[in-house]
Amino acid sequence: MKLEKMQKNSSQLSNQFSTWLDRSLIVRALEFVQDLIVISLCLGLFGVMVLQLKDMFVSLLSPVNFNFHVITADILFVLILVELFRLLIIYLQEHRVSIGVAVEVSIVSVLREVIVRGVLETPWVHILSTGGFLLVLAVLLVVRVWIPPTFEGIDPETRITQSYNSHKEISKN
Protein backbone atom coordinates (compact mmCIF):
# COMPACT_ATOMS: atom_id res chain seq x y z
CA MET A 1 0.00 0.00 0.00
CA LYS A 2 2.75 2.38 0.99
CA LEU A 3 4.72 1.43 -2.13
CA GLU A 4 1.72 2.13 -4.37
CA LYS A 5 1.26 5.53 -2.74
CA MET A 6 4.95 6.38 -3.27
CA GLN A 7 4.74 5.32 -6.93
CA LYS A 8 1.61 7.41 -7.38
CA ASN A 9 3.29 10.46 -5.82
CA SER A 10 6.37 9.85 -7.94
CA SER A 11 4.22 9.56 -11.05
CA GLN A 12 2.39 12.80 -10.21
CA LEU A 13 5.69 14.54 -9.57
CA SER A 14 7.12 13.37 -12.89
CA ASN A 15 3.95 14.48 -14.70
CA GLN A 16 4.20 17.92 -13.09
CA PHE A 17 7.87 18.09 -14.01
CA SER A 18 7.21 17.02 -17.61
CA THR A 19 4.47 19.64 -18.01
CA TRP A 20 6.81 22.26 -16.58
CA LEU A 21 9.61 21.01 -18.83
CA ASP A 22 7.69 21.09 -22.09
CA ARG A 23 10.18 20.11 -24.79
CA SER A 24 8.33 21.78 -27.63
CA LEU A 25 8.25 25.05 -25.71
CA ILE A 26 11.98 24.83 -25.04
CA VAL A 27 12.72 24.00 -28.67
CA ARG A 28 10.60 26.93 -29.87
CA ALA A 29 12.36 29.27 -27.44
CA LEU A 30 15.80 28.08 -28.55
CA GLU A 31 14.83 28.43 -32.23
CA PHE A 32 13.63 31.97 -31.51
CA VAL A 33 16.96 32.84 -29.87
CA GLN A 34 18.79 31.26 -32.79
CA ASP A 35 16.70 33.30 -35.24
CA LEU A 36 17.59 36.47 -33.30
CA ILE A 37 21.28 35.58 -33.61
CA VAL A 38 20.94 35.01 -37.36
CA ILE A 39 19.02 38.29 -37.74
CA SER A 40 21.77 40.15 -35.89
CA LEU A 41 24.34 38.48 -38.18
CA CYS A 42 22.30 39.64 -41.20
CA LEU A 43 22.19 43.21 -39.93
CA GLY A 44 25.92 43.20 -39.19
CA LEU A 45 26.71 41.71 -42.59
CA PHE A 46 24.50 44.30 -44.27
CA GLY A 47 26.37 47.06 -42.44
CA VAL A 48 29.73 45.67 -43.54
CA MET A 49 28.46 45.51 -47.15
CA VAL A 50 27.36 49.16 -47.04
CA LEU A 51 30.73 50.27 -45.61
CA GLN A 52 32.63 48.20 -48.17
CA LEU A 53 30.58 49.65 -51.04
CA LYS A 54 31.17 53.19 -49.75
CA ASP A 55 34.93 52.61 -49.59
CA MET A 56 34.91 51.03 -53.04
CA PHE A 57 33.02 53.93 -54.63
CA VAL A 58 35.30 56.47 -52.96
CA SER A 59 38.37 54.70 -54.34
CA LEU A 60 36.73 54.47 -57.79
CA LEU A 61 35.95 58.18 -57.90
CA SER A 62 39.35 59.43 -56.72
CA PRO A 63 41.99 59.08 -59.45
CA VAL A 64 44.82 59.34 -56.89
CA ASN A 65 43.82 56.17 -55.01
CA PHE A 66 42.72 54.20 -58.10
CA ASN A 67 44.19 50.70 -57.87
CA PHE A 68 42.57 48.12 -60.15
CA HIS A 69 43.90 45.19 -58.10
CA VAL A 70 42.37 46.52 -54.86
CA ILE A 71 39.07 47.41 -56.52
CA THR A 72 38.78 43.92 -58.03
CA ALA A 73 39.44 42.38 -54.60
CA ASP A 74 36.79 44.67 -53.07
CA ILE A 75 34.21 43.72 -55.70
CA LEU A 76 34.84 40.01 -55.09
CA PHE A 77 34.64 40.60 -51.33
CA VAL A 78 31.23 42.28 -51.74
CA LEU A 79 30.05 39.32 -53.84
CA ILE A 80 31.14 36.97 -51.04
CA LEU A 81 29.23 39.07 -48.52
CA VAL A 82 26.12 39.00 -50.74
CA GLU A 83 26.32 35.20 -50.98
CA LEU A 84 26.74 34.91 -47.20
CA PHE A 85 23.73 37.19 -46.76
CA ARG A 86 21.74 34.94 -49.10
CA LEU A 87 22.86 31.90 -47.07
CA LEU A 88 21.60 33.52 -43.87
CA ILE A 89 18.27 34.46 -45.49
CA ILE A 90 17.78 30.86 -46.67
CA TYR A 91 18.59 29.71 -43.14
CA LEU A 92 15.95 32.05 -41.69
CA GLN A 93 13.35 30.82 -44.18
CA GLU A 94 14.04 27.10 -44.00
CA HIS A 95 16.12 26.55 -40.85
CA ARG A 96 18.75 24.72 -42.84
CA VAL A 97 22.03 25.60 -44.49
CA SER A 98 21.85 25.40 -48.27
CA ILE A 99 24.67 23.21 -49.54
CA GLY A 100 24.64 24.89 -52.94
CA VAL A 101 25.00 28.41 -51.58
CA ALA A 102 27.69 27.35 -49.10
CA VAL A 103 29.69 25.72 -51.89
CA GLU A 104 29.25 28.78 -54.11
CA VAL A 105 30.54 31.02 -51.30
CA SER A 106 33.55 28.73 -50.88
CA ILE A 107 34.32 28.77 -54.60
CA VAL A 108 34.12 32.56 -54.84
CA SER A 109 36.25 32.93 -51.69
CA VAL A 110 38.98 30.65 -53.02
CA LEU A 111 38.98 32.36 -56.41
CA ARG A 112 39.17 35.76 -54.71
CA GLU A 113 42.27 34.70 -52.80
CA VAL A 114 43.90 33.39 -55.97
CA ILE A 115 43.12 36.61 -57.84
CA VAL A 116 44.25 38.87 -54.99
CA ARG A 117 47.55 37.04 -54.46
CA GLY A 118 48.19 36.58 -58.14
CA VAL A 119 48.65 33.27 -59.88
CA LEU A 120 52.20 34.00 -61.00
CA GLU A 121 53.42 34.83 -57.47
CA THR A 122 51.82 31.76 -55.87
CA PRO A 123 53.88 28.55 -55.53
CA TRP A 124 52.80 25.72 -57.81
CA VAL A 125 51.96 23.47 -54.85
CA HIS A 126 49.38 25.99 -53.63
CA ILE A 127 47.92 26.33 -57.12
CA LEU A 128 47.69 22.54 -57.41
CA SER A 129 46.02 22.16 -54.01
CA THR A 130 43.65 25.04 -54.77
CA GLY A 131 42.73 23.38 -58.07
CA GLY A 132 42.04 20.10 -56.26
CA PHE A 133 39.90 21.89 -53.69
CA LEU A 134 37.94 23.66 -56.43
CA LEU A 135 37.45 20.34 -58.21
CA VAL A 136 36.01 18.79 -55.04
CA LEU A 137 33.71 21.80 -54.57
CA ALA A 138 32.58 21.55 -58.20
CA VAL A 139 31.77 17.85 -57.76
CA LEU A 140 29.84 18.67 -54.58
CA LEU A 141 27.95 21.38 -56.47
CA VAL A 142 26.92 18.86 -59.12
CA VAL A 143 26.15 16.01 -56.68
CA ARG A 144 23.98 18.17 -54.40
CA VAL A 145 21.11 17.81 -56.87
CA TRP A 146 20.86 14.11 -56.02
CA ILE A 147 21.17 14.60 -52.25
CA PRO A 148 17.66 14.43 -50.77
CA PRO A 149 16.63 17.47 -48.71
CA THR A 150 16.57 16.78 -45.00
CA PHE A 151 13.84 19.29 -44.22
CA GLU A 152 10.55 20.14 -45.84
CA GLY A 153 10.10 23.55 -47.33
CA ILE A 154 11.64 25.50 -50.14
CA ASP A 155 14.46 23.55 -51.71
CA PRO A 156 16.30 25.75 -54.21
CA GLU A 157 18.17 22.83 -55.75
CA THR A 158 14.93 21.03 -56.59
CA ARG A 159 13.35 24.21 -57.91
CA ILE A 160 16.32 24.82 -60.21
CA THR A 161 16.25 21.22 -61.47
CA GLN A 162 12.49 21.38 -62.15
CA SER A 163 12.88 24.70 -63.93
CA TYR A 164 15.71 23.32 -66.05
CA ASN A 165 13.71 20.21 -66.97
CA SER A 166 10.63 22.25 -67.92
CA HIS A 167 12.73 24.54 -70.15
CA LYS A 168 14.37 21.49 -71.72
CA GLU A 169 10.97 19.97 -72.53
CA ILE A 170 9.73 23.26 -74.01
CA SER A 171 12.80 23.56 -76.23
CA LYS A 172 12.25 19.99 -77.53
CA ASN A 173 8.73 20.83 -78.67
Q: What is the pLDDT of residues 3-37, one digit of tens each?
A: 565 556 666 656 655 665 677 888 888 989 999 99
Q: What is the pLDDT of residues 136-145, one digit of tens each?
A: 999 988 887 7
User: What's the confidence (pLDDT) of residue 151?
Assistant: 52
> Which residues fall within 8 angstroms of residue 157, CB to CB, at 6 or more apart?
98, 99, 100, 144, 145, 147, 149
Name residue 36's amino acid. Answer: L
Name residue 164's amino acid. Answer: Y
Q: What is the pLDDT of residues 128-165, one digit of tens each?
A: 999 999 999 999 888 877 766 655 555 555 666 676 67
